A and B are shown apart, each in its own frame.
Chain A
Amino acid sequence: MAESIPAEATHAHDDHHHGEQSFWSKYVFSTDHKMIAMQYMFTGMAMAIIGGFMAYAFRMQLAFPGMDVPGFGIVSPANYNALVTNHGSIMIFWVAMPVLIAAFGNFLIPLMVGCDDMVFPKINRLSYQIFLLSVIVLLSSFFVTNGGFGGAWTSYPPLSAKGQYSLTPLGSSIWLVAVALEFIAFLLGGINFVTTAMNSRAPGMKVYDIPIVVWTIVVASILFMASVGPLFAGAVMLFMDQNIGTAFFDPDKGGDPILWQHLFWFFGHPEVYVVLLPAMGISAEIICTFARKKMFAYKTFLYTMWATGVLSFTVWAHHQFVAGIDPRMAHIFTVTTLLISIPIAEMCFIYIATLYGGSITLTTPMLWALAFVAEFLIGGVTGIFLGASGADIYFHDTYFVLAHFHYTFYPIAIIGTFAGFTYWFPKMFGKMMNETLGKIHFWGTIIPFNCIFIPLFILGAAGQHRRIYSYEHFPELAGPQFQDLRIFATSALLVMLAFQLVFFYNCFISWRKREKDAGDNPWRANTLEWSATSPPPHGNWPDGLPNCYRGPYEYAHPDREEDFHPQHVPS
Chain B
Amino acid sequence: MRPIATTRMEAGIPTGRLAVWWVVASEIVIFGGLLVSYIMHRIAHPEWGGHAANTNVWIGATNTLVLLTSSLSAVLAHKAALGGDGKKAARFLYYTFGGAVTFVCIKAAEWTMEIRHGYTITANTFWSFYYTAAGLHALHVIAGGIIMLIVAQTAKRNLELHRVELIGIYWHFVDIVWIFLFPLLYIAK
Direct contact between the two chains A and B in their complex (CB within 8 A): yes
Interface residues of A (CB under 8 A from B): 3-4, 110, 115-121, 123, 187, 190-191, 194-196, 198-201, 205, 225-234, 236-237, 240, 244-248, 253-256, 259, 263, 266, 539, 545
Among B6, B11, B41, B121, point to the contact of A244 (Cβ < 8 A): B121
B residues in contact with A201, CB < 8 Å: 8, 10
* Beyond A194-B18, A199-B5, A199-B10, 15 additional pairs, beta carbon < 8 A: A115-B8, A120-B6, A120-B19, A191-B19, A200-B5, A225-B25, A230-B34, A236-B132, A237-B128, A246-B125, A247-B128, A256-B41, A256-B44, A259-B41, A539-B3
Please determine whether A194 and B22 come into contact, CB atoms closer than 8 angstroms: yes
Please determine whether B29 and A225 come into contact, CB atoms closer than 8 angstroms: yes
Please determine whether A191 and B22 come into contact, CB atoms closer than 8 angstroms: yes
CB distance from A189 to the nearest CB of B (A): 11
Give Cα A513 to B164, complex, Å: 52
Please determine whether A195 and B22 come into contact, CB atoms closer than 8 angstroms: yes
Q: Given A118-B3, A118-B5, A253-B124 in contact, is the A233-B30 Cβ separation under 8 Å? A: yes
Among A195, A232, A254, point to the contact of B30 (Cβ < 8 A): A232
Give Cα A231 to B19, complex, Å: 22
Among B19, B25, B37, point to the contact of A226 (Cβ < 8 A): B25
Asked if B122 is an interface residue, CB under 8 A from chain A, the answer is yes
B residues in contact with A245, CB < 8 Å: 122
CB distance from B151 to the nearest CB of A (A): 16
CB distance from B129 to the nearest CB of A (A): 8
A residues in contact with B128, CB < 8 Å: 237, 240, 246-248
A residues in contact with B25, CB < 8 Å: 225-226
Asked if B28 is an interface residue, CB under 8 A from chain A, the answer is yes
Chain B residue at smallest Cβ distance from A247: B125
B residues in contact with A191, CB < 8 Å: 19, 22-23
Give Cα A228 to B27, complex, Å: 10
Please determine whether A200 and B136 come into contact, CB atoms closer than 8 angstroms: no
Chain A residue at smallest Cβ distance from B3: A117
Asked if B32 is an interface residue, CB under 8 A from chain A, the answer is yes
CB distance from B154 to the nearest CB of A (A): 16
Q: Given A205-B10, A229-B28, A233-B31 in contact, is the A199-B37 Cβ separation under 8 Å? A: no
CB distance from A34 to the nearest CB of B (A): 12
B residues in contact with A190, CB < 8 Å: 22, 26
Please determine whether B3 and A236 come into contact, CB atoms closer than 8 angstroms: no
Count contacts between A and B, CB distance < 8 Å. 137
B residues in contact with A187, CB < 8 Å: 23, 26
Asked if B33 is an interface residue, CB under 8 A from chain A, the answer is yes
CB distance from B25 to the nearest CB of A (A): 6
Please determine whether A228 and B29 come into contact, CB atoms closer than 8 angstroms: yes
Among A225, A254, A266, point to the contact of B124 (Cβ < 8 A): A254
14 pairs of residues in contact across A and B, judged by CB atoms under 8 Å: A115-B5, A117-B3, A117-B5, A118-B3, A119-B6, A187-B23, A198-B13, A199-B10, A199-B11, A229-B27, A233-B31, A248-B37, A259-B40, A263-B33
CB distance from A414 to the nearest CB of B (A): 29
B residues in contact with A110, CB < 8 Å: 5
Give Cα A187 to B22, complex, Å: 9
List the 9 shortest-distance A-B pairs measured between CB atoms, nearest first. A230-B33, A229-B29, A229-B30, A233-B34, A117-B3, A115-B5, A200-B5, A198-B11, A246-B128
Give Cα A191 to B20, complex, Å: 9
Give Cα A237 to B1, complex, Å: 42
B residues in contact with A123, CB < 8 Å: 19
Which B41-80 residues have a C-beta within 8 angstroms of A?
Answer: 41, 44-45
Give Cα A4 to B1, complex, Å: 9
CB distance from B4 to the nearest CB of A (A): 5
Chain A residue at smallest Cβ distance from B22: A191
Q: Given A244-B122, A254-B45 in contact, is the A227-B29 Cβ separation under 8 Å? A: yes
CB distance from A423 to the nearest CB of B (A): 24
B residues in contact with A116, CB < 8 Å: 3-5
Please determine whether A200 and B32 come into contact, CB atoms closer than 8 angstroms: no
The winner among B15, B26, B28, B121 for most chain A CB atoms within 10 A is B26
Among A198, A199, A226, A248, point to the contact of B29 (Cβ < 8 A): A226
Please determine whether A229 and B26 come into contact, CB atoms closer than 8 angstroms: yes
A residues in contact with B34, CB < 8 Å: 230, 233, 236-237
B residues in contact with A229, CB < 8 Å: 26-33
A residues in contact with B28, CB < 8 Å: 229
